[in-house]
Amino acid sequence: MGLKVLTVDDSKTMRDMVSFTLKGAGHNVIEAADGCEALRVLGGDRVDLVITDVNMPNMDGLTLCKEIRSNPTHRLTPILVLTTESDGNKKNEGRSVGATGWIVKPFNPEKLLQVVNKVCP
């Protein structure tokens, strides 16, 4: 039973890697290059998980979190924030806007799946 995951990152490399990893684990993945596109892609559809980068043009990941949380449809959708910042600041920021958890880069496929498991039933 695959999850439907939206991955948001301005870096195609990162999107490709996340996508590849998740697909390999049997999940369905949709991609977006920034917050704006993510919201557009999301529309009113439910997804099981959102994985987003923080630093992106047009709309950054934290704003995206907030936007998603403010939409009743996605109120309880787990959101994971991809971050290179290992300091608490970004994590706190994430938390304050409704992120469920975070994945600290560098990207590691195993770690990703582990964290996805952690927040998705």
Partner 1 sequence: MSTNDFDLDQFKATYFEECAELLIDAETRLADLQHSPENVDAEDLNAIFRVVHSVKGGAGAFSFDQLVGFAHIYEALLDRMRQGEIQITEDIVTLLLSANDILTNLIQAAQNDITVPEEDFIDVKNKLNLLAFDQPVNSSTEEGETETTISEEKSTKKYIISFNPKPELLQHANEPLLLVREMKALGELTTIVNTDRLPSIQKIISDEAYFSWVFELVSDCSLTDVEEVFEFVTEDCDLDIKIEDETQKPEDVSSQPTSAPPIEDNSTKTLETTKKQAVEAMQAPTIPTPATVGKPTPTGNSQASQRVSSIRVELDRVDRLVNMVGELVITQAMLRQQVDNLPPELAAFMAKGFEDLGMHTREIQESVMAVRMQPVKSVFARIPRLVRELASKLGKKVELETSGEHTEVDKTVIEQLSDPLTHMIRNSLDHGIEETPEDRKKAGKPELATVTLSAEHRSGRIHIIVTDDGRGINRERVRAKAIEKGIINVDENLSDEAIDDLIFSPGFSTAEEVTDVSGRGVGMDVVRRNISNLGGRISVQSTPGKGTKFIMSLPLTLAVLDGMVVAIGKEKFIISLTAIIESLRPAKTELHNLSNGAEVVSLRGEYIRLVRLHRLFNIPGAQKDPSQALVVVVEIEGGKQVGILVDELLGQQQVVIKSLEENYDPVDGISAATILGNGMVALILDVDGLDAMARQASHKQNTDDEIDNQPDLLTTDTDEEKSTTTNQLANSRPEDQEALTNKATEEKTQRYEVME
Binding site residues, partner 1, CB under 8 A: 10-14, 16-17, 20-21, 24, 36, 53, 55-60, 62-63, 66, 69, 75-79, 82, 84, 86-93, 95, 97-102, 104-110, 118-121
How many beta carbons lie within 10 A of that of residue 75, not counting itself?
10
Rounded to a whole number of angstroms, the minimum distance from the CB of residue 27 to partner 1 is 14
Sheet holding 49-53, edge to edge: 28-32, 4-8, 49-53, 79-83, 101-104
Residue 74: count of CB within 10 angstroms of its CB = 21
Structure tokens at 89: 């600041």
Using the minimum distance from each CB to partner 1, give the nearer residue, 28 or 58: 58
- Closest approach, Cβ 46 to partner 1, in A, equals 12
- At closest approach, how far in Å is the CB of 111 from partner 1? 10
